Chain A
């Protein structure tokens, strides 16, 4: 319970910082919106509803992936100012609590972006989902956590690197590809109703398994990364 309190403290701190500046959410939201608009210009989604259903799962996740990458770097760069990170390293609270608090905060930010983006997406792409839309309430959080947990970890890993803005996508994308595959397939399956519910269920289970495995590794290795010198 002590551990949980540390996590909540870190989470509260990150939420408060974000509430005061609102940098991450605004940046992500606008970025994701731009990606959606660019794809909309490229494909003319209103004229080809079938194609739109087939590709919009991929577009949605690409937009969210790139948008979250822009925010993940900032979330650690905040800690660098005034040597806050050094203070965190000296603090007696477990290092993984810091990580979990930040990952959960980032998760909440991306979920807010998703909640705003989804209606815009449906309007701009004139999207009529054929499958069971409620499944998206399971797929979206699981997929977001897969991106955010590894993203938060690799953002911390590249924090002191020479060009960390570039390094994060280079590390995050190859590791996340199986998760991306699962979330894009599951989302497309829901939108087009091409996959039956068992197949979508297996993709969701894979995503959940990916989340569990990588959350565990991140928690185990975070202290090593934080004190890597």
Chain B
């Protein structure tokens, strides 16, 4: 098994170290070096965490969709590859839910501080909430369905979710644009000041590296679980063959 050889483990440690280092630099840039936001003061610094994570949380559903399609393609042709794809789909869905949750929570904290309310039903908030709901329901399905078929069913649901996301996005856009523009809609990001760029990009890189680390870690864990399950099934078959003598 490849996970037991020392090299991938060293690479994982190295990757983990890089993630921590980049996040530390990003933290220093965001909290200490960048001047406070003119309009919002120190509260505006949550921007350097909220926006990079919000951008990244849109990436993982694509990975999940791609892995699910790969699973459906290999399901009959090459079951071992299909299992790998399924482990990747599960890992990316979990990371997607985590990043979307952080986006929602940090956005709520920021909204409370900047707008005075925790939540507004504006297009971006609503579409991220629906994205979160879709991938939580994906994880629910994996939890509830019986073992033999949960991978296939989850892959099918992932296709539905991926088709649903652009529809959600378009319909919510249409829903809100026919109403008067929301009063509270003036977050930064429309035009970013040059002094904000280093903090923003360090944090974007840091959370990207961190997300990939967690994703691959979870993937390796799920692969081990699958291999252990296969091993167990194999032993059961062998044991059942020995009994009749």
Contact = CB atoms under 8 A, between A and B. Distances in A.
Contacts, number: 91
Interface stretch (B39-47, B148-156, B214-222): B148-156
A174 B178 contact: no
Interface residues of A, number: 33
Interface stretch (A16-24, A45-53, A176-184): A176-184
Interface string A200-226: 001000100110011001000100110
Interface string B137-168: 10011001110110011001101110110011
B230 interface: no
A178 B168 contact: yes
B152 A224 contact: yes
Contacts of A214: 160, 163
Nearest to B141: A171
B121 to A, nearest CB: 11
Interface string B202-220: 0000000000000000000
B70 interface: no
Contact of B153 (A174, A182, A185, A225): A225
A34 interface: no
Given A175-B134, A199-B178, A217-B160, A167 B144 contact: yes
B149 A178 contact: no
Given A206-B174, A213-B167, A217-B160, A174 B130 contact: yes
Nearest to A171: B137
B72 interface: yes
Contacts of B168: 177-178
A1 to B, nearest CB: 29
Contacts of A166: 144
B153 A157 contact: yes
Chain B residues touching A, range: 20 to 34
A161 interface: yes
Contact of B144 (A158, A195, A224, A229): A158
B82 to A, nearest CB: 12
A58 B134 CA distance: 21
Contact of A163 (B134, B144, B163, B174): B144
Contact of B156 (A185, A206, A224): A224
A185 B130 contact: no
Contact of B149 (A170, A182, A213, A229): A229
Contacts of B160: 150, 175, 214, 217
A178 B157 contact: no
A24 to B, nearest CB: 23
A162 interface: yes
The 6 closest A-B pairs by CB, nearest first: A228-B152, A228-B149, A174-B133, A178-B171, A161-B145, A174-B137
17 contacts: A158-B153, A161-B141, A162-B144, A163-B144, A174-B161, A174-B164, A175-B134, A175-B137, A175-B164, A177-B168, A178-B167, A185-B175, A213-B163, A214-B163, A217-B163, A225-B152, A229-B152
Given A150-B160, A174-B161, A221-B156, 16 more contacts: A157-B156, A171-B141, A171-B157, A175-B164, A178-B130, A178-B167, A178-B171, A181-B172, A199-B178, A202-B174, A209-B167, A213-B167, A217-B160, A217-B163, A225-B153, A229-B148
Interface of B: 72, 75, 130, 133-134, 136-137, 140-141, 144-146, 148-149, 152-153, 156-157, 159-161, 163-164, 167-168, 170-172, 174-175, 178
Interface of A: 150, 157-158, 160-163, 166-167, 170-171, 173-175, 177-178, 181-182, 185, 195, 199, 202, 206, 209-210, 213-214, 217, 221, 224-225, 228-229
